[in-house]
Copies of this chain bind each other. A is one copy, B any other.
Amino acid sequence: MSLLVVGTVAFDTIETPFGKADMTIGGSGTYISLSASYFTNNINLVSIIGNDFPEKELKFLQSKGINTSGIVQRNDMKSFYWHGKYHYDMNTRDSLATELNVLSVFNPVIPENLKKADYLCLGNIDPEIQMSIINQVEKPNLIMCDTMNFWIETKHKELIETLKKVDILLLNDSEARELTNEYNLVTAARKIFTMGPKIVVIKKGENGALLFHGESIFFAPAYPLEKVFDPTGAGDTFAGGFMGWIAKTNDFSTENIKLAIIYGSVMASICVEDFSIEKLRNLNTDQINKRFDDFKNLITY
């Protein structure tokens, strides 16, 4: 099944207690589509880049079966850039620089041949843009959307409108609390159901992810790793594995969505083992299956 991904393709400079990586490849669209590419083939990425984005990295995405024809390149502007520094706990971070650049003029027009997407995955971008994309595509089987505190605070009304059209909302615990004014995550998820989404996935970083689907609650831990190098992109990699698995299987029963959560967690746990997208460049099926089995052992009794 075809998967349409809309998100950023960008540069990140990342500092952790273990080192620094300058101007590495980042962006929600990059992580989502790269992670999904290990599950399904028909992936179309819609994004915007500047004149500084390396041709060879676009070619790399294409080599993974990702159609990049929906990425607009602006020759008069630079790519979106983020510089972050992680604290010792690797869970909290400071943004040292955020340069919107091309993102300030991002107003995606979905190419005609991509409007019939089976699955739509909206990375964490302005909810008005998310809505504009939803209005352009023709009845996908499922629409998944990510968001963040910034949009909850600055575009609350627009986000609420967008959520009415969304099937799966993916967000982290502090975002779920802020969106609903509820501290308890079970109560928060139930409140989100009344806003539109039928499925809510609450990410808790190193503490795993909770899936709410009707009356069902499912929990997947984050894999306990001895070395976490760089948490950047873990949430988007989770989303990519999640939607990649659903697009591959074309099955959104509760049971299959649980598997999607596990595959999302598997991919995220691999992603954080190196800087940027490095670990996602050359994975093979054996490595993914091995981590999938490790997950099974972690929670089987």
A186 contacts which of B186, B210, B217, B224 (Cβ < 8 Å)?
A: B224
**Closest residue of B by beta carbon distance from A226:** B186
Residues of B within 8 A of A204 (CB): 207
* Residue count of chain A within 8 Å CB distance of chain B: 33
Is the Cβ of B219 less than 8 Å from the Cβ of A224? yes
Among residues of B, the one whose C-beta sits closest to the C-beta of A224 is: B186
B210 touching A224, Cβ below 8 Å: yes
**Cα-based distance from A165 to B259 in the complex (angstroms):** 42
1/0 contact trace for A203-229 toward B, CB 8 Å? 010011010000011111100111110
Given contacts A89-B183, A221-B221, contact A301 B259 (CB under 8 A): yes
**A217 CB contacts on chain B under 8 angstroms:** 224, 298
Q: Are B218 and A255 within 8 A (Cβ)?
A: no
Provide the residues of chain B in CB contact with A227, threshold 8 Å. 184
Closest residue of chain B to A219 (Cβ to Cβ) is B221
For the A-B complex with A89-B183, A221-B221 known, give 14 more contacts whose Cβ atoms are closer than 8 Å. A88-B183, A184-B225, A184-B227, A185-B224, A186-B224, A186-B226, A190-B226, A208-B221, A217-B298, A219-B224, A219-B298, A219-B299, A255-B301, A262-B301
